[in-house]
Structure 1
Amino acid sequence: MTDLEYLDRAEQLLLAVEQSCDRLNDETDADIDAQRVGGMVTLVFANRTQIVINQQKPLHEIWMAAKAGGFHYKFDGQHWQDTKGGGEFFENLSRFASAQSGLTLAFTAKMV
């Protein structure tokens, strides 16, 4: 993957996360505050816990830090997969956000 391809894919991921937060805030009582600064999005939940998602441009990865730990994702041509075989980014984000918020939250790669 070229640098430009990575930047395009990474930007799509971050936008999908932000749009998922907007949708979840409209459809549930989640009250997620998505704060974007450059290539990083910080999700702040009502209980003040956070999930941080950021671009790692030199490695062509996306990193996610949650209460469950730190995770690295690489694009496999279709999805962002955990580099240690721990699953797909949006599935994991949904699981981690649900655990931290106490609500069932479903993040998706689909953008509106």
Structure 2
Amino acid sequence: MTDPEYMDRAEAVLAAIERSCDRINDATDADIDNQRVGGMITISFRNGSQLIVNLQKPLQEIWLAARSGGYHYRHDGREWVDTKTSEEFFGQLSREASAQAGMALQFTAG
């Protein structure tokens, strides 16, 4: 994948995270906050914990930092998958956010 293709796909992920945060706040009492600075989004929860999603352009990856650990995702032609487990990004993000919020939260690409 070329660098411009990577950036288009990666920026779409960040935009989807922002939309998901807005939708979650409208539909639940999760009260999550998201702040974007360049290629990084920090999602903060009521209990003070955070998730950090960061673009890694030189590696063409997206990184997720959570309480449970760090995850690296590469695009496989269809979706972003973890480099170790092949788990899909938005599924993992939803599980991590749910664990840190103490309630079921759903992040989606759409």
Q: Same fold (TM over 0.5)?
A: yes
Q: Does 1:35 align with 2:35?
A: yes
Q: Which residue of 1 aligns with 2:17?
A: 17
Residue range with higher mean Cα deviation, 63-72 or 79-88: 79-88
Q: Which amino acid aligns with 2:101?
A: S
The CA RMSD measured in Å over matched residues stands at 0.6
Aligned to 1:7: 7
Alignment of 1:1-112 (within 5 A): 1-110=1-110
Q: Deviations over 1:52-93 (max 9, x none)?
A: 000000000000000010000000111100000251000000
5+ residue gaps, structure 1, are: none
> Which secondary structure does the structure 1 equivalent of 2:105 belong to?
coil
Q: For residues 20-71 of structure 1, what are the alpha-carbon distances to aligned partners after superposition, in whole Å with 9 as ceiling and x for unaligned?
A: 0000000001111000000000000111100000000000000000001000
Aligned residues: 110
Measured in 2, the distance between the counterparts of 1:37 and 1:86 equals 27
Percent identical among aligned pairs is 63
The residue matched to 2:104 in structure 1 has which SS?
A: coil
Give the 4+ runs in structure 1 shifted more than 4 A.
none
Give the Cα separation in 2 of the matches to 1:16 and 1:82.
18
